Amino acid sequence: MNADVSDGLTRDELEAYWMPFTGNRDFKDHPRMIVGGDGCYYLSADGRRIFDSVSGLWCCGFGHNRREITAAVSRQLATLDYAPAMQFGHPLAFQLANRITAMTPADLDYVFFCNSGSEAVDTALKMARAYWCLKGEPGRTKFIGRAKAYHGVNIGGTSVGGMESNRELYGELLDSAQLSHTLLPENAFSRGLPEKGAELADQLEEFVARYDAGNIAAVIVEPFAGSAGVILPPRGYLERLRELCTKHELLLIFDEVITGFGRTGRNFAADTFAVIPDIMCLAKALTNGSVPMGAVVARSEIYQTFMAAGGHDYAIEFPHGYTYSAHPVACAAALAALDIFEQEKLAERCRELAPYFEAAIHGLQGLPYVVDIRNFGLAGAIQLDAYPGEPARRPVEVAMGCWDKGLYVRYAGDSIALAPPFIAEKDDIDFTFSVLNDVIGALP
């Protein structure tokens, strides 16, 4: 087959790119090309404006093609395109680290840069294991994750993640176990945090009894799970998890790759839920999705443990890092993005728009096949009853129907996920749920 497709590429020219998390055969027979972006909208190859109801992939909440970021990146490329990350530095890396620690909760004071959320998680896991080695407890090698969690696709994140479809091809990787997820049928159609299920955090006590705290390095959770369909913590759940980690001297890692920088209505979910982890993973909105970048922010005691490990001052305390850690162009993009975030008060904007979003998404209750609706901040999910033998079929049909009507939504498993840009207007929210109402209502 060599027929023309909408952007001028032929079917044969599409073949070389092995696309991630995509049904490659279907896409290459029915390509959906994005060729531009502006504000809350994408431009498709066939000339249509498509409302981006997922902020790219949870990362472009400040809007697409922000001129401020474009200008900062352009200036940086003309000044310093690359600098080595090891043994030498450049000023923007230190400026950005200080900017981040000025925003993070108290005592999360040290930033290690990487290039993605997946790398941030793997960095955090290595940091945790190395920390316990330096504390004289090298047996602490096990990690506790949570079912239905997503922590990226590197070896560590795949190991601690709880989306079985992401793990089944690879066998055992790191030593890990998963707490139960918090998606409970009795909480269906909750508005905001569900009321029931905080006691699920007590399962950590069972894991400590089973594995012994002296063998566990850390517990890692998303404050709310995004990729599995906005699975929220019951009221009191995260507080209890923090209490138990402190009791048993386990490190608590928050994967805030999705929740960080405004999605919950505060700088971080740690602020929203008043629960401070020992290590925080960041990415996505750090640069508003414009340049790949990730970061790990650690408590002072963790950093100081590495610094006090002994040896010559020039010795490497943490043998870990990447060629592109704190890349100058990524730092410039991040600093410009954080300017936008703060100057336009986008966390506050999220809080203001969230009640309207909540009312709109719950307005879909009663449509055929809708078995649950969940929301918090500017994030929500619509869970659909599974088609017999094909649990992903209805979400795919909804997503393709929405695309045809000018709306981009995210489908994963049995759910449609939404995370609109913070700069969206109420009319954009109305359009989103009008299209979803029509498309879901027309499902056979």
3-class DSSP string for 101-164:
HHHCCCCEEEEEEECCHHHHHHHHHHHHHHHHHHCCCCCCCEEEEECCCCCCCCHHHHHHCCCH
Q: Do residues 174 and 143 touch, judged by C-beta distance below 8 A?
A: yes
Q: Which helix (H) or strand (E) holds 271?
A: helix 269-272
Report how far residue 271's alpha carbon sits from residue 291's, in angstroms, rounded to the nearest whole number.
26
Claim to verify: residue 277 and residue 367 sit in the same structural domain: no
**Domain end point (choices 308, 343, 378):** 343
Claim to verify: residue 387 and residue 326 sit in the same structural domain: no
What pLDDT was estimated at residue 310?
75
Claim to verify: residue 312 and residue 358 sit in the same structural domain: no
Question: 172 lies in a domain?
Answer: yes
Question: 27 lies in a domain?
Answer: no
Q: Which residue has the tokens 């414009």?
A: 290
Claim to verify: residue 180 and residue 106 sit in the same structural domain: yes
| DSSP strand pairing (142-146 vs 176-179) | parallel
Claim to verify: residue 173 and residue 317 sit in the same structural domain: yes
* Tokens (6 digits) for 365: 């209750």
Claim to verify: residue 251 and residue 372 sit in the same structural domain: no
**144: domain CATH number?**
3.40.640.10
Q: Which helix (H) or strand (E) holds 407?
A: strand 407-408
Q: What is the pLDDT of residues 25-83, one digit of tens each?
A: 999 999 999 999 999 999 999 999 999 999 999 999 999 999 999 999 999 999 999 99
Q: What is the pLDDT of residues 176-210, one digit of tens each?
A: 999 999 999 999 999 999 999 999 999 999 999 99
Question: 18 lies in a domain?
Answer: no
Claim to verify: residue 330 and residue 402 sit in the same structural domain: no
Claim to verify: residue 161 and residue 294 sit in the same structural domain: yes
Question: 12 lies in a domain?
Answer: no
Question: 13 lies in a domain?
Answer: no
**361: domain CATH number?**
3.90.1150.10
Give the CB-side neighbour count of residue 163, counting CA atoms within 13 A: 19
Query: Containing domain of residue 303, as a range?
Result: 70-343
Report how far residue 365's alpha carbon sits from residue 373's, in angstroms, rounded to the nearest whole number.
7
Question: 1 lies in a domain?
Answer: no
**Domain end point (choices 294, 317, 343):** 343
Claim to verify: residue 162 and residue 195 sit in the same structural domain: yes
The 10 Å CB-count burial string (b at 16+, else e) for 150-163 is bbbbbebbbbbbbb
Question: 16 lies in a domain?
Answer: no
Claim to verify: residue 75 and residue 124 sit in the same structural domain: yes
For the entire predicted model, the pTM comes to 0.96
Query: Comparing C-alpha atoms, which of 237, 230, 159 is closest to residue 196?
Result: 237
Average pLDDT per consecutive 10 residues, the chain (444 residues; last block may be shorter): 55 95 94 97 97 98 98 98 97 98 97 98 98 98 97 94 84 91 98 98 98 98 95 98 98 98 98 98 98 98 94 93 98 98 98 98 98 98 93 94 98 94 98 98 96
Question: 423 lies in a domain?
Answer: yes
Claim to verify: residue 269 and residue 145 sit in the same structural domain: yes
**Domain end point (choices 290, 325, 343):** 343
Query: Comparing C-alpha atoms, which of 400, 397, 396, 349 is closest to residue 377?
Result: 349
- Considering the chain, what percentage of its residues have pLDDT values greater than 70? 98
Claim to verify: residue 287 and residue 390 sit in the same structural domain: no
* Domain count within the chain: 2
Hey, is 63 helix, strand or coil? coil
